[in-house]
Structure 1
Amino acid sequence: MVPVEILGVRQQQRDQEIVVLLLDSAADLAVPIVIGPREASAIAMAQAGLATPRPMTHDLLRDVLAAVGVELERVEIVALEGGIYFAELVLSGGARLDSRASDAIALAVRTGSPVLCSAEIVALAGVEIVDVQQREEMEKFRAFLDHVSPEDFSGPPGQ
């Protein structure tokens, strides 16, 4: 298991799917998990610190856990089968509960609990993070290399 950061919720333009992105910063890979609009809203609202007038389902679950003295120690994304991600809630005391990945992530955001993902899932489903600024710098450097000649380096600087 590797720790991942919840980057946020995004809507993919090409197919209008909503995904939550989990970042494995050590590998510079993001795992996109397709989620529904309600779960996307629950995650985004919690990340933004927005409260609703009445508790949403994930708020209620957080409050129930607190009321019975149980903590969410961590969320683990444990399997990927047929495009479906499976998660487990790991509770204080050692109990493990099967969960949809989107619900587990929404609860983790509300409790401040860490999210871990199977290294195999990161390797299989992770996509490389490309920084736009890094890409532009790399393109400038490539253009420079395409047009540079050995003579450009002869003589004092600035000539």
Structure 2
Amino acid sequence: MVPVEVLGVRQQQNDQEIVVLLLDTSAELAVPIVIGAREASAIAMAQAGVATPRPMTHDLLRDLLTAVGVELDQVEIVALDGGIFFAELVLSNGTRLDSRASDAIALAVRTGSPVLCSAEVVAAAGVEIVDLAQQREVEKFRDFLDHVNPEDFTNPEPGDDVEDGGSPDTPP
């Protein structure tokens, strides 16, 4: 089992699926888990520290554990089978409970409990993380390409030294 960080909830632009992203920092891999809108809301609200006037299901479960004197030691994402992630809640009394991954993550965020993921699951479902600085540069370049005109290349700006046929960045 490897510790993972719950990065947050994102909506995929291509197919509108909602995923929760788990980050394995040691391998620089993210594990996207497709979840429902209600579970996404529960995770996002807990991460943002939003309190509801009445307890949501995950709040109730957290409060029930506290009332009976049991803590959630950790959440483990234990398997991936047919595109479905399987999780277990590991309680302080030694009990392990089968759980949907999204519910387990929502509870872990509320209790501050660690989330661990099977190395096999990370290897099978993990996607490589692009460096954030590198990602910003790619986004800037895409924005440039979206707004560039052919005239931007044929009419040099004042001060650009392109008389020798080189580019403005070419040393004289």
Q: Normalising by the residue count of structure 2, what TM-score does the alignment of the two structures yield?
A: 0.78
Specify the SS of the correspondent of 1:7: strand
Find the counterpart in structure 2 of residue 74 from structure 1.
74
Find the counterpart in structure 1 of residue 104 from structure 2.
104
Matched residues in 2 for 1:54 and 1:135: separation? 40
Question: For 1:44-59, what aligned pairs fall within 5 Å after superposition?
Answer: 44-59=44-59
Matched, 1:114 2:114: yes
Find the counterpart in structure 2 of residue 42 from structure 1.
42
Which is higher, the Rg of structure 1 or of structure 2? 2
Matched residues in 1 for 2:23 and 2:8: separation? 10
* C-alpha distance 96-137 of structure 1, shift in aligned 2 (>3 A): same
Specify the SS of the correspondent of 2:58: helix
Aligned residues: 140
List, as ranges, runs of 4+ consecutive aligned residues in structure 1 with deviation greater than 3 Å.
135-138
Gaps of 5+ in 2: 139-170
Find the counterpart in structure 2 of residue 150 from structure 1.
none
Gaps of 5+ in 1: 139-157
Q: CA deviation at 1:133?
A: 2.0
Matched, 1:87 2:70: no
Find the counterpart in structure 1 of residue 160 from structure 2.
none
Percent identity among equivalent residues?
A: 83
Q: Residue deviations 1:55-95, cap 9 Å, x none?
A: 00000000000000000000000000000000000000110
Q: Normalising by the residue count of structure 1, what TM-score does the alignment of the two structures yield?
A: 0.84
